[in-house]
Amino acid sequence: MHLPKGFLFDFDGVVVNSFESHGAAWSAAFKELFNEEIAPFPKSHAGRSPMVIAEYFCSVIGEEKRTEELYALKDKYLDIHFKAPKLLPGVREFTTLLTKEKIPYGIASNATKQFLKNSVHHLNLNFTTVFGVEDYEKPKPAPEAYITLAKALGFKENDFKDIWVFEDSLTGTKAAKLAGMIPIGILTQYSKDELKKAGSDLVFPTLLEAYKYLIN
Protein backbone atom coordinates (compact mmCIF):
# COMPACT_ATOMS: atom_id res chain seq x y z
CA MET A 1 0.00 0.00 0.00
CA HIS A 2 1.23 3.49 -0.75
CA LEU A 3 0.82 5.67 2.32
CA PRO A 4 1.49 9.40 2.55
CA LYS A 5 4.96 10.38 3.86
CA GLY A 6 3.57 11.83 7.07
CA PHE A 7 0.42 12.40 9.10
CA LEU A 8 -0.29 15.53 11.11
CA PHE A 9 -3.21 15.67 13.53
CA ASP A 10 -5.19 18.50 15.00
CA PHE A 11 -6.27 17.57 18.55
CA ASP A 12 -9.70 18.87 19.61
CA GLY A 13 -12.38 17.31 17.42
CA VAL A 14 -9.96 14.93 15.68
CA VAL A 15 -8.18 12.96 18.40
CA VAL A 16 -10.53 13.85 21.26
CA ASN A 17 -13.90 15.39 21.99
CA SER A 18 -12.85 18.08 24.48
CA PHE A 19 -15.88 20.33 24.19
CA GLU A 20 -16.89 19.71 27.80
CA SER A 21 -13.34 20.12 29.14
CA HIS A 22 -12.90 23.52 27.48
CA GLY A 23 -16.50 24.60 28.04
CA ALA A 24 -16.33 23.98 31.79
CA ALA A 25 -13.04 25.91 32.07
CA TRP A 26 -14.35 28.89 30.06
CA SER A 27 -17.57 29.04 32.09
CA ALA A 28 -15.82 28.86 35.46
CA ALA A 29 -13.21 31.48 34.52
CA PHE A 30 -15.83 33.84 33.08
CA LYS A 31 -18.02 33.47 36.17
CA GLU A 32 -15.09 34.20 38.48
CA LEU A 33 -13.98 37.24 36.50
CA PHE A 34 -17.32 38.87 35.67
CA ASN A 35 -19.85 37.11 37.93
CA GLU A 36 -21.94 36.43 34.81
CA GLU A 37 -22.88 33.41 32.71
CA ILE A 38 -20.80 33.06 29.56
CA ALA A 39 -22.33 33.41 26.06
CA PRO A 40 -22.80 30.25 23.96
CA PHE A 41 -19.69 29.18 22.05
CA PRO A 42 -19.84 30.40 18.42
CA LYS A 43 -19.20 27.71 15.79
CA SER A 44 -17.29 30.30 13.75
CA HIS A 45 -14.56 30.20 16.41
CA ALA A 46 -14.01 26.42 16.30
CA GLY A 47 -10.29 25.66 16.09
CA ARG A 48 -9.22 29.24 16.76
CA SER A 49 -6.61 30.17 19.33
CA PRO A 50 -7.74 30.53 22.98
CA MET A 51 -6.79 34.24 22.92
CA VAL A 52 -9.16 34.89 19.99
CA ILE A 53 -11.91 32.97 21.80
CA ALA A 54 -11.27 34.90 25.04
CA GLU A 55 -11.52 38.16 23.09
CA TYR A 56 -14.87 37.07 21.67
CA PHE A 57 -16.36 36.18 25.07
CA CYS A 58 -15.14 39.49 26.55
CA SER A 59 -16.48 41.48 23.59
CA VAL A 60 -20.01 40.14 24.21
CA ILE A 61 -20.11 42.16 27.45
CA GLY A 62 -17.87 45.03 26.28
CA GLU A 63 -14.86 43.93 28.36
CA GLU A 64 -12.27 43.40 25.60
CA LYS A 65 -9.61 45.03 27.79
CA ARG A 66 -9.77 41.96 30.08
CA THR A 67 -9.14 39.43 27.31
CA GLU A 68 -5.70 38.38 28.60
CA GLU A 69 -7.05 37.98 32.13
CA LEU A 70 -9.79 35.64 30.92
CA TYR A 71 -7.32 33.70 28.77
CA ALA A 72 -4.95 33.16 31.72
CA LEU A 73 -7.71 32.21 34.14
CA LYS A 74 -9.27 29.73 31.70
CA ASP A 75 -5.86 28.12 31.20
CA LYS A 76 -5.46 27.84 34.99
CA TYR A 77 -8.91 26.21 35.35
CA LEU A 78 -8.17 23.82 32.48
CA ASP A 79 -5.05 22.66 34.32
CA ILE A 80 -6.20 22.65 37.97
CA HIS A 81 -9.63 21.16 37.32
CA PHE A 82 -8.37 18.98 34.50
CA LYS A 83 -11.23 17.01 32.96
CA ALA A 84 -9.96 14.35 30.58
CA PRO A 85 -11.44 14.68 27.10
CA LYS A 86 -13.13 11.73 25.42
CA LEU A 87 -11.02 9.76 22.97
CA LEU A 88 -12.51 9.60 19.47
CA PRO A 89 -12.59 6.40 17.38
CA GLY A 90 -9.58 5.26 15.36
CA VAL A 91 -6.78 7.04 17.22
CA ARG A 92 -5.05 3.97 18.64
CA GLU A 93 -5.44 2.03 15.36
CA PHE A 94 -3.82 4.93 13.51
CA THR A 95 -0.85 5.41 15.84
CA THR A 96 -0.22 1.65 15.88
CA LEU A 97 -0.22 1.53 12.07
CA LEU A 98 2.06 4.55 11.67
CA THR A 99 4.51 3.29 14.28
CA LYS A 100 4.63 -0.11 12.56
CA GLU A 101 5.15 1.48 9.11
CA LYS A 102 7.75 3.93 10.57
CA ILE A 103 5.79 6.94 9.23
CA PRO A 104 6.36 10.17 11.19
CA TYR A 105 3.32 11.74 12.86
CA GLY A 106 2.46 14.31 15.49
CA ILE A 107 0.00 16.86 16.84
CA ALA A 108 -0.22 20.60 16.07
CA SER A 109 -3.09 22.24 17.93
CA ASN A 110 -4.31 25.71 18.86
CA ALA A 111 -4.93 24.34 22.37
CA THR A 112 -2.44 25.14 25.13
CA LYS A 113 0.59 22.90 25.58
CA GLN A 114 -0.33 21.93 29.15
CA PHE A 115 -3.79 20.73 28.14
CA LEU A 116 -2.30 18.66 25.33
CA LYS A 117 0.33 17.11 27.62
CA ASN A 118 -2.24 16.37 30.35
CA SER A 119 -4.58 14.78 27.81
CA VAL A 120 -1.93 12.68 26.06
CA HIS A 121 -0.66 11.46 29.44
CA HIS A 122 -4.10 10.81 30.93
CA LEU A 123 -5.40 8.93 27.87
CA ASN A 124 -2.07 7.12 27.44
CA LEU A 125 -1.75 8.18 23.79
CA ASN A 126 1.21 7.36 21.60
CA PHE A 127 2.09 10.90 20.50
CA THR A 128 5.64 12.01 21.24
CA THR A 129 5.73 15.15 19.08
CA VAL A 130 3.12 17.65 20.23
CA PHE A 131 2.88 21.39 19.54
CA GLY A 132 0.48 23.82 21.23
CA VAL A 133 -0.53 27.44 20.74
CA GLU A 134 2.46 28.81 22.68
CA ASP A 135 4.81 27.26 20.10
CA TYR A 136 3.81 29.56 17.24
CA GLU A 137 4.09 33.26 16.49
CA LYS A 138 0.90 32.97 14.43
CA PRO A 139 -1.61 30.24 15.34
CA LYS A 140 -3.96 28.65 12.83
CA PRO A 141 -5.41 29.70 10.35
CA ALA A 142 -1.78 30.70 9.62
CA PRO A 143 0.22 27.71 8.29
CA GLU A 144 2.99 28.01 10.90
CA ALA A 145 1.63 25.27 13.22
CA TYR A 146 1.79 22.59 10.55
CA ILE A 147 5.06 23.79 9.05
CA THR A 148 6.65 23.77 12.53
CA LEU A 149 5.42 20.23 13.20
CA ALA A 150 6.45 18.89 9.79
CA LYS A 151 9.97 20.30 10.16
CA ALA A 152 10.25 18.88 13.69
CA LEU A 153 9.38 15.47 12.22
CA GLY A 154 12.24 15.83 9.74
CA PHE A 155 10.33 16.83 6.62
CA LYS A 156 11.62 19.23 3.97
CA GLU A 157 9.35 21.63 2.11
CA ASN A 158 9.20 19.43 -1.00
CA ASP A 159 7.70 16.65 1.17
CA PHE A 160 4.73 18.79 2.24
CA LYS A 161 2.59 17.88 -0.77
CA ASP A 162 2.65 14.24 0.40
CA ILE A 163 1.58 14.90 4.01
CA TRP A 164 -1.96 14.37 5.25
CA VAL A 165 -3.39 16.74 7.83
CA PHE A 166 -6.49 15.72 9.79
CA GLU A 167 -8.70 18.69 10.67
CA ASP A 168 -12.27 19.21 11.84
CA SER A 169 -12.33 23.03 11.63
CA LEU A 170 -12.29 25.47 8.72
CA THR A 171 -9.57 27.39 10.61
CA GLY A 172 -7.26 24.36 10.62
CA THR A 173 -8.16 23.24 7.11
CA LYS A 174 -7.08 26.65 5.85
CA ALA A 175 -3.79 26.34 7.80
CA ALA A 176 -3.04 22.94 6.23
CA LYS A 177 -3.88 24.22 2.76
CA LEU A 178 -1.64 27.28 3.20
CA ALA A 179 1.17 24.99 4.35
CA GLY A 180 0.94 23.18 1.00
CA MET A 181 -0.22 19.93 2.60
CA ILE A 182 -3.30 17.72 2.03
CA PRO A 183 -6.19 18.59 4.37
CA ILE A 184 -8.41 15.64 5.33
CA GLY A 185 -11.71 16.61 6.96
CA ILE A 186 -13.18 14.99 10.07
CA LEU A 187 -16.93 15.52 10.54
CA THR A 188 -17.15 16.64 14.18
CA GLN A 189 -18.00 20.32 13.59
CA TYR A 190 -18.77 20.98 9.95
CA SER A 191 -20.55 19.27 7.08
CA LYS A 192 -18.81 17.46 4.25
CA ASP A 193 -19.66 20.34 1.88
CA GLU A 194 -18.25 22.97 4.24
CA LEU A 195 -14.99 21.06 4.71
CA LYS A 196 -14.65 20.35 0.98
CA LYS A 197 -15.27 24.00 0.20
CA ALA A 198 -12.54 24.98 2.69
CA GLY A 199 -10.10 22.68 0.88
CA SER A 200 -10.38 19.15 2.32
CA ASP A 201 -9.38 16.52 -0.26
CA LEU A 202 -11.26 13.73 1.51
CA VAL A 203 -13.75 13.76 4.38
CA PHE A 204 -14.40 11.03 6.98
CA PRO A 205 -16.75 10.81 9.99
CA THR A 206 -13.81 9.92 12.29
CA LEU A 207 -10.19 8.75 12.10
CA LEU A 208 -11.46 5.16 12.20
CA GLU A 209 -13.02 5.46 8.71
CA ALA A 210 -9.86 7.17 7.43
CA TYR A 211 -7.78 4.31 8.86
CA LYS A 212 -10.00 1.70 7.16
CA TYR A 213 -9.79 3.61 3.88
CA LEU A 214 -5.97 3.54 4.03
CA ILE A 215 -5.59 -0.12 4.94
CA ASN A 216 -8.02 -1.13 2.19
Residues 6+ apart with CB under 8 A from 121: none
Task: Note every long-range contact of 30-33, with CB atoms under 8 Å and residues 24 or more positions apart, other chains counting.
Answer: 30/57, 30/70, 30/74, 32/73, 33/66, 33/69, 33/70, 33/73
Query: Helix 50-60 vs helix 67-80: angle between axes, to the nearest 10 degrees?
Result: 120
Instruction: State yes or no: pLDDT of 2 exceeds 90.
Output: no
Mean pLDDT of 194-200: 97
pLDDT tens string 146-184: 999 999 999 999 999 999 999 999 999 999 999 999 999
Q: Which pLDDT band holds residue 69 (cuts at 50, 70, 90)?
A: very high
Q: Which pLDDT band holds residue 206 (cuts at 50, 70, 90)?
A: very high
Task: Report the 10 Å Cβ neighbour count for 9.
Answer: 24
Q: Which pLDDT band holds residue 1 (cuts at 50, 70, 90)?
A: low
pLDDT tens string 17-26: 998 999 999 9
Mean pLDDT of 56-68: 97
Instruction: State yes or no: pLDDT of 5 exceeds 90.
Output: yes
pLDDT tens string 86-95: 999 999 999 9
Q: What is the mean pLDDT of the chain?
A: 96
Mean pLDDT of 197-208: 98
pTM metric for this prediction: 0.93
